Amino acid sequence: MRWRIRELLGERNMTLYEFAKRIGYNNVSSVYRRFPEDDEFEGSVSAKFLDRICRELGVGVGDVLEYVPDSTSTRHRKR
C-alpha cells in the first residue's frame, strides 16, 4: 500500500503542515512520520482517521491509498 496524500495536497496547493492542522493533528512532526516522502504506508489506520482525511480532501478512500503489490510477499505463492 502507499499513501497518495502528498499528490492530493499538491493538486490543492496545500502543505502537509496545513493539512495536519486541518485534520486535527497537534503534533505536526507525527504527520511527517505518518505520511513519509516515499509515500510508504506503514502500520495501521483507523476508519475514523481515514474519514477525516477523505472529508478534508473531498475524496474517497481509494483516492487516498493505492494498492501496490509486494513482490516479496509469500501470501499468493503457489504450493
CATH of domain 2-66: 1.10.260.40
User: pTM, whole model, 2 decimals?
Assistant: 0.79
pLDDT tens string 26-75: 787 888 888 888 888 888 889 999 999 999 999 999 999 999 887 665 55
Please report the DSSP string for 34-56 in residue order: HS-TT-B--S---HHHHHHHHHH
pLDDT at position 73: 53
For 66, the 3-state DSSP assignment is strand
pLDDT of residue 71: 67
Domain boundaries of the chain, sorted by first residue: 2-66
